[in-house]
Amino acid sequence: MLVPLLLICGAVGSAAIVAYGTSAQLAQFAHGIQIIIISRRLEWPMVGLSLALSGVLLGITISGRRSVWWLLGLGPVLALFVRGFSATYHPAAALLDAPQFVAADQVDANALANLYVVGLVFDSKPYAVPYRALADAPVILLSAFQKRALLIWSMTANRAVLLPLERDTPPREIEVVSRPADSLLLFDTRLGQFIVGVTGRTVSGGIPVGFGVSIPVHKMRFADWTRLHPDTLVMNTNTKGVTTADDPVLPSLKFPLAPSSLGGETRIGILATTEPTAVLSDMALDRPMNVQAGEVRILLERDPKTKALRAFDRHLKEDLFLTLRPLARIPRGHPEAAMVDSDTQSLWTLDGRAVDGPLKGERLGEIAVDDGLYWGVMKFWMPNLKLISSQ
């Protein structure tokens, strides 16, 4: 009696790992992400073990050494395999290769005008990918001549990451494992590395082998993107999926939130600095503000036209770190000037150009800001994330 019982328990346990081991719900528990990773690595060995144990039980039953009633114990094994490989419980999210793009004048601009898109510039060409298309195809391969990049969309994090691929990296070996903690979790079956969708990095925080540093993308309404890039290409939105999300959605937050005075749904912007740095999306910036993130000195401001957050590196050259302040009055002959630096008294515009003074002709490097993200989600995946306060 003990032998068939052990065989059934082993087969059921192995099948249970296949069925539930990569569930996004595991992120609620301590070491949940590690459990998902281990379960995916062991998925096929567990399938083989479960089938082998089931085969042994079937063999000793057929040989007459045990009652055929023991075969009822294989029912849960079958049910668990059905759940583990069923599209009902694990909707397919395969890589979309070579998506169809059309010119902006070939789409119904009025119908798309108020819908959100992920805008990006790849190989000097602007592209717009509607949220509704990404909801059904969250991993997209973009190709332009010899360049390729992977666009990864985590819908409930409102986060898009564009990762350039090295020439010998086969993108078809990238699969979506799960969606824990409001992020896609990808698995490179060739190299055995896991990639976090909201960071574009490995779970340990490193740059994935075969990929480059993420390229900045923008999230805005289609009308605003086409205003900036009239020649943009638009991804065909005639998707066949059942999911439609035209606007940002709130995160599920089904994971432990880091202790903070901020709520998990608080919207933030992430600055593309060496040290992870965030600012509140609704930060009151009635004037440019000088801040520092690690070793990087930053000028924070809000675009007067679009109200979007903008950031500039105040390190101009060698050991010159500028401190800028708003002008008390507009100088004659330079109506575009809005700031003056205290080091050289040069005049600066809000887009980081020096228009008068010793530094005339110089320009501050802009730091990309990914706005509209959620504090709880980003803090979970980026534990070292620091928040810049306006105080």
Delimit the domains of the chain by residue range.
Answer: 2-85, 96-235, 267-388
Q: How confident is the model at residue 242 (pLDDT cuts 50, 70, 90)?
A: very low
Q: Which of 220, 218, 281 is nearest to 247 (CA)?
A: 220
Beta strand segments in 204-287, E:
218-221, 233-235, 267-271, 277-280
What whole-number distance in Å separates Cα of residue 149 and Cα of residue 171? 9
What whole-number distance in Å separates Cα of residue 151 and Cα of residue 141? 6
For 125-153, write each residue's pLDDT tens digit: 999 999 999 988 899 999 887 889 999 99
What whole-number distance in Å separates Cα of residue 235 and Cα of residue 218? 15
What whole-number distance in Å separates Cα of residue 162 and Cα of residue 173? 17
- Phi then psi dihedrals of residue 113, to 5 deg: -50, -45
**H or E element, residue 110:** helix 109-112
**H or E element, residue 44:** helix 43-62
CATH, domain range 267-388: 2.102.10
What whole-number distance in Å separates Cα of residue 278 and Cα of residue 288? 16
Q: Which of 71-80, 191-200, 247-256 has the lowest mean pLDDT?
A: 71-80
What whole-number distance in Å separates Cα of residue 178 and Cα of residue 234? 28
3-class SS at 63? Answer: coil
186 pairs with which residues across the strands?
A: 176, 195
3-class SS at 217? Answer: coil
For 263-283, write each residue's pLDDT tens digit: 999 999 999 988 889 999 998
What six digits make up the tokens of 181?
A: 């903690």
For 16-73, write each residue's pLDDT tens digit: 999 999 999 999 998 999 999 999 999 999 999 999 999 888 888 888 777 777 788 8
